[in-house]
Amino acid sequence: MIIEHPLLGPRDAAEFVYLGDASLIDRPDWQAEDAAERFYEYGYLRDNPAGEHQELWYHEQGDRSWLVVTRNTMSHEITKVELARDVAKARGRNT
Amino acid sequence: MTQADTTLNFVSGDEKAVKTVPVSGQVNRVGTGLINPNQKLKFSFNGKEMTGFAGDTLASALLANGQRLVGRSFKYHRPRGILTAGSEEPNALVELRGGAAQEPNTRATVTELFDGLEAKSQNHRGSLNFDVMAITDFASPFLTAGFYYKTFMWPKAFWEKLYEPIIRKAAGLGSLSMKEDPDSYDKGFLHCDLLVIGAGPSGLTAALAAARSGARVILADEDFLPGGRLNAEALEVGGQSGSQWAANAVAELTSMDNVRLMTRTTVYGAYDHGVYGALERRTDHLAKSEGKPRQILWRIYSKRAVLAAGSTERPIAFGNNDRPGIMLAGAVRTYVNRFGVVPGKEMAVFTNNDDGWQTALDLQNAGVDLMAVIDSRDVDAPVSLPGVRHLRGQGIVNTIGRKGVKAVETTGGVTLPVDAVAVSGGWNTNVHLT
């Protein structure tokens, strides 16, 4: 498997560590009314799609960047690779 | 030839083949094929000294020495011979070398012969010729599936300590040395634009076309001699022999900087996003590895790949079709044309397609007495073979012989005395990797 790193180009999957669903970026607000319920969902509930899936990959053996990889779980085709930082910023986070 | 007591005549072109005086011991050697007759190699099989030539495989050298029986089957210890001439070999599994480097279950058909090679047959108690465990074959009607588990049930404690160790020892193939592996192994990474898997006619043509356009090409083939069936057929390509055409193509490819030709390399898997796994055997064809890595595991990154892995011939099912001497017809052609070896002196060809007739033709040109061509189809002979019996619309129903085929019986009630049979059931394209 090869991941097209946005800064470094195509890199072997062996250089990366897989973390999981990219929804982990969206950490709930701990001060919200329903914080307990939302943290339970954040901690335990995951979609398991047969098809396109967004996931977090950590370039441990490389530049140590976090990536959001859009991968088809049926075909292993990778359609999009973004820096997790950019994704988080686009969703309104400042870091 | 280097030794005065040996002669080897070339069988060429239209000239009627002459039965030659064999090289001492090599009773079935009828020509030179693509071997190097000036480089004689000594090897041993079960301690018996034999000779072959550079360019031989262990299988072709064993056949040349008239050794039809090369092993015993897994459960019933039935005598087994060489069936194929390539990596698809199911029968001719042997133990190579000795001491810590001992390697069990190696296919004799892909083992390159070297001077001093020691090979042993597997899975027999007593000698290969007199295997006391062959009794299981005669008792086979009683040894049905589940026999052991139903029979050896009590006392319960005996199973693990007594019954199972004995049963396990009775079956199985080679044995391990139980010593530390003395060799070293390596791994590596390669990158290219095009990976061509298989260096037969298609693979060589694809590699040439890509290489001439400037692409970075890796051409991998499991054989030590690239060319695939071009080396195994008596055919002409562009006015030259198939093997010569292959040699010229290889020469052009090796002269190019953008081509890496990897022989003795098996591409075993294709993974996501253009990653391929390959195993290169670096020193298996040498007597000693001398510090060099024995095998290298390559990870090949390629933009595109061409799978040109050739075809595998199908056998035909008939009674006792596992006797030594019964071989695939395409493999027989390989031994005749590439190695100058005939599997027997009196042979029959059993085919259900036109390709088997090519084997008959090549065998006749090599001076083999063809007892008959048995064609399961009711059709005219596609090849003219004067003096050869054509059994139309017949098949083999049974074979006679124990340690090697002695005769075959056909559906038409004909019994033919033979010492080898070439069987062709048509070809399947290899759309898989190993």
pLDDT tens-digit profile, chain B (434 residues): 333 333 444 444 444 344 454 567 899 999 999 999 999 999 999 999 999 999 999 999 999 999 999 998 888 889 999 999 999 999 999 999 988 889 999 999 999 999 999 999 988 877 888 777 777 787 777 777 777 777 777 777 787 788 777 777 777 778 888 999 999 999 999 999 999 999 999 999 999 999 999 999 999 999 999 999 999 999 899 899 999 999 999 999 999 999 999 999 999 999 999 999 999 999 999 998 888 999 999 999 999 999 999 999 999 999 999 999 999 999 999 999 999 999 999 999 999 999 999 999 999 999 999 999 999 999 999 999 999 999 999 999 999 998 999 999 999 999 999 999 999 999 999 998 86
In angstroms, what CA-CA distances link B160 with B143, B150, B391? 20, 14, 54
Cα–Cα–Cα angle for B360, B84, B44, nearest 5°? 115
CB B40 within 8 A of CB B51: yes
Q: What is the pLDDT of residue B66?
A: 94
Strand B275-281 to B265-271 pairing: antiparallel
Question: Inter-axis angle of helices B242-254 and B201-212, to 10 degrees?
Answer: 30
Q: Is A12 within 8 Å of chain B by CB? A: yes
Q: What is the pLDDT of residue B49?
A: 94
Chain A residue whose CA is closest to B302 = A2
Q: What is the pLDDT of residue B162?
A: 80
For residue A2, pLDDT over 70 is answered with yes
Whether the upstream peptide bond of residue B155 has omega within 30° of 0, thus cis, is yes
A76 with B273: Cβ contact below 8 A: yes
Tell me, what's the ipTM? 0.76
- Whole-structure pTM value: 0.87
Q: What is the pLDDT of residue B135?
A: 77
Backbone angles phi, psi at B265, to 5 degrees: -125, 120
Closest Cα in chain B, distance from residue A78 (Å): 9
A2 with B271: Cβ contact below 8 A: no
Chain B residue whose CA is closest to A76 = B272
**CB-defined contacts A:B, below 8 A:** 14
A2 with B273: Cβ contact below 8 A: yes
CA gap B407, B348 in Å, rounded: 9
B-chain CB neighbours of A76 within 8 Å are 272-273
Closest Cα in chain B, distance from residue A12 (Å): 9
